[in-house]
Amino acid sequence: MNESLLRELVPAVIGVLVRRGADFASAEDAVQEALIRALETWPVDPPRDPKAWLVAVAWRKFLDAARAEASRRGREAAVQVEPAAGPAPATDDTLRLYFLCAHPDLPPASAVALTLRAVGGLTTRQIAAAYLIPEATMAQRISRAKRRLAGRSLDRPGDLGTVLRVLYLVFNEGYGGAVDLAAEAIRLARQLVTLTDEPEVAGLLALMLLHHARRASRTGPDGRLVPLGEQDRARWDTDLIAEGVTILQAALARDRLGQYQAQAAIAALHADARSAAETDWVQIVQWYDELLRLIDSPVVRLNRAVAVGEADGPRAGLAALAQLDPDLPRHAAVAAYLHERTGDRDRAADLYAAAARAATSVPERDHLTRQAARLRQPPGR
């Protein structure tokens, strides 16, 4: 059974139910039940028209639920007549569902979970496994999100910026569990590119592809974190890099620069260098300046300080870093790296140790701890 096709059909099936009179929450619940039924029956009895099958089963699930609850008798009267069997309509509601699930009223974690369910077609169990949290906890998160969206119309204009932020949050969740969230985000971004003509959507897809191309080289055989400058570039996926660069160039040619296009341009410059020493840091600083004009955030300024340290020397990088709040995440790690490059091993070791204590992931903490230990050894050992 093609589970990828099954997930791709979910937004369209939800859209059909909504147009027939179901509210979003009830439609989404019914489609999830239909998906479970499909997983049970399709391997031995595949339907000729998968979409029509899902629509028929989900609609029956919705009607059963509507009839079972006295509070829904008004809606039951409106949907009492069973639609005639036949091919499901071809209308695509995917983009509207993106906007609904990424509604600004939802907390980011809830928006991500709901997007994975309603647009990505994942089950609650799959999403919970990917986030390494109990299924009941994820179910509560999704239920709260749907209650918050009760009564929202699919016809209301949405915020594309919020949709893109949610997709990038999905991508950045990493690769844990049975569902690869990074790959899932790329799949959804590809889908979104076909639904809208905005260059920033293409920019986000390019950014994801360029980052994903380095995935195999980010950790060693023992699971240790490998920094960008030390990665084996022979392990980078050149096909993904070429695709990402092509998509980015087409987006930039539209002359409507956005933050994801600027970030993708920085990633492309890293991908284009045959070695860390050949990286065009001057151009990277220039792209960070462009990015700052679009979003002046402390994180962007922190990353720019690293680039300045590479382009103009570590003391210039430290001068740029001095303008930022020392409590900023990764500030100590960046300061440690730049101090090491100036030759101040003791100061760098102390900063690496401080950064390790503040690290939010085990691989990052272990990497920073090893860096501190390395510098505390006598030179030459």
Reported as a single tens digit per residue, the pLDDT across 38-50 is: 888 988 888 989 9
Q: Which residues pair with 219 in a beta bridge?
A: 225
Whether the per-residue pLDDT at 87 is higher than 50: the answer is no
- Residue 286 has what pLDDT? 98
- Residue 242 has what pLDDT? 97
Of 11, 10, 86, 94, the closest CA to residue 48 belongs to 86
Whether the per-residue pLDDT at 11 is higher than 50: the answer is yes
DSSP string, 146-197: HHHTTT--TTS---HHHHHHHHHHHHHT-S-SSS-HHHHHHHHHHHHHTT--
pLDDT in tens, 168-204: 888 887 655 556 788 888 988 998 998 888 999 999 9
Whether the per-residue pLDDT at 68 is higher than 60: the answer is yes
Percent of the chain with pLDDT over 70: 88
Asked if residues 310 and 317 have their Cβ atoms less than 8 Å apart, the reply is yes
Give the mean pLDDT of 300-310.
97
pLDDT level of residue 76 (50, 70, 90 thresholds) = very low
User: Other CB atoms closer than 10 Å to residue 91's CB: what's the count?
Assistant: 10
pLDDT in tens, 239-269: 999 999 999 999 999 999 999 999 999 999 9
- Residue 15 has what pLDDT? 86
38 vs 319, higher pLDDT? 319
Length of the chain: 381
pLDDT in tens, 147-160: 888 776 655 556 78
Asked if residues 30 and 17 have their Cβ atoms less than 8 Å apart, the reply is yes
Rounded to two decimals, what is the model's pTM? 0.79
For the four alpha carbons of 62, 67, 72 and 73, in that order, the dihedral sign comes to positive
Whether the per-residue pLDDT at 93 is higher than 70: the answer is no
pLDDT level of residue 81 (50, 70, 90 thresholds) = very low
Segments making up each domain of the chain, as ranges: 1-92, 93-196
Asked if residues 276 and 229 have their Cβ atoms less than 8 Å apart, the reply is yes
Give the mean pLDDT of 84-107.
68
- Residue 74 has what pLDDT? 52
Please report, as a single letter, which amino acid is at residue 61: K
Going from the C-alpha of 45 to that of each of 4, 35, 55, 121, the distances in angstroms are 18, 14, 17, 21
